[in-house]
Structure 1
């Protein structure tokens, strides 16, 4: 007996907004999420709120007059051994576009739905962070100017402080989630305190660490669709030893 599968949008009437304190993989954009999500009881699929209610077109301040159109299917290309692989990267986080996305054909730009929520400017502790694609400083986490996924160089976006002291690849922030899951399994509010304590550090070091945590929380909250920043706090505590 053959099984007929329905696509996401065929069963939208069954999606209900739920709020679980655990990570999930969005069946729309294929990226990780946390907290509020739309859950379909019959098929078990889950969607970010941005993926359940996408806009037909969006703008982003970083790209000025560019118009991004919502797409359900990712672009792929044929490679060796008659295999297909994803052919577009998100211009914000640098990750492959594997599902839902927003695309500007005119400027050849792509954004994951959650990445489109990243602000052009952040103001944290009286320090302005600007969203940039070309940077001259090294990322605090990876200690490099450029990012790589092992197979290619990925441009992506970075948040850089106006003073030039702090630089964060958005790509590296997305990797924090993956690394935390690989190290500690399911990451949630119940996870114990595993991060190294900042006690004993000088006031300057503590201030820098607090600045780093504040920026990371905001970036992860946007990437994960986590408005409460609950998972952001947990992951930052778990991986703060990396800084």
Structure 2
């Protein structure tokens, strides 16, 4: 494992910050991105802003005194038929660590670079959501309280409204994007399956207020997960989501 140093910085000298209104695969963390990204003028590789400017050591208030070190390679192991596979997953979203990451050796914790930047609090259409590591309610999409991942019991982070009516795993919102991307080959937000979310809320008597709130919620969370703090996923995405909900 290599930690960040002068050798890594030297590789980045040809990267330039650019903006395109399309999805991209980050060559650092291997996660999806949108909008602003650093592009190498020599090879065309693209990086999230967080992956272009990593920090050698970080801490996170969700993990107390744990100290995370930046690594530019993922952990792997030999799996079935001696095939090499990824052996760590992000303790925030539950997805595999496939590239750049922050790792705490002492407490066996791992974070994607973009996940560690998720906001602790979101205010959406007057509803306050807190980022929580432990929850008592079930996620509005998957219907579960936690994410189980092989031998590592991953709780996963969730955004929970202070009124306690709404609870969504960060990973479940990310999965909605992934499913749409794999099916349609592009952002395809209008094809995201929001029916489960609508059914969940109708059972709780939420009405049209929920439909307005969830569009804004997904827009803001996607912006964070895809590394686009400038909110390039804006009115266009809201319109597409509105069509998806009404189908």
Moved more, 19-28 or 214-223: 214-223
Which residue in the other structure is 1:106 paired with? 106
Q: Which runs of 5+ in 2 are unaligned?
A: 1-6
Q: Does 1:137 align with 2:141?
A: no
Q: CA RMSD in A?
A: 3.1
Deviation sequence 1:25-82 (CA, Å, 0-9, x none) = 0000000000010101221210001001101112222122222111111111112222
Deviation sequence 1:63-116 (CA, Å, 0-9, x none) = 222221111111111122221111111011100000001112222111100001
Describe how 1:35-54 pairs up with structure 2 within 5 A.
35-54=35-54
**Preserved contact between residue 217 and residue 233 of structure 1 (Cα < 8 Å):** no
TM-score by length of 1: 0.82
Q: Distance in 2 between matches of 1:216 and 1:26?
A: 21
Q: CA deviation at 1:207?
A: 1.1
Q: Distance in 2 between matches of 1:167 and 1:149?
A: 20
Q: Does 1:209 align with 2:211?
A: yes
Describe how 1:20-169 pairs up with structure 2 within 5 A.
20-147=20-147, 154-169=154-169
Q: CA deviation at 1:229?
A: 2.5
Aligned residues: 230
Which residue in the other structure is 2:4 paired with? none
Q: CA deviation at 1:9?
A: 5.3
Q: CA deviation at 1:182?
A: 2.8
Which residue in the other structure is 1:223 paired with? 225
TM-score by length of 2: 0.81
**Preserved contact between residue 159 and residue 168 of structure 1 (Cα < 8 Å):** yes
Q: Distance in 1 between matches of 2:68 and 2:26?
A: 21
**Preserved contact between residue 89 and residue 97 of structure 1 (Cα < 8 Å):** yes
Q: Does 1:241 align with 2:235?
A: no
**Preserved contact between residue 176 and residue 235 of structure 1 (Cα < 8 Å):** no
Which residue in the other structure is 2:3 paired with? none
Give the secondary structure class of the aligned counterpart of 1:68.
Answer: strand
Which residue in the other structure is 1:3 paired with? none
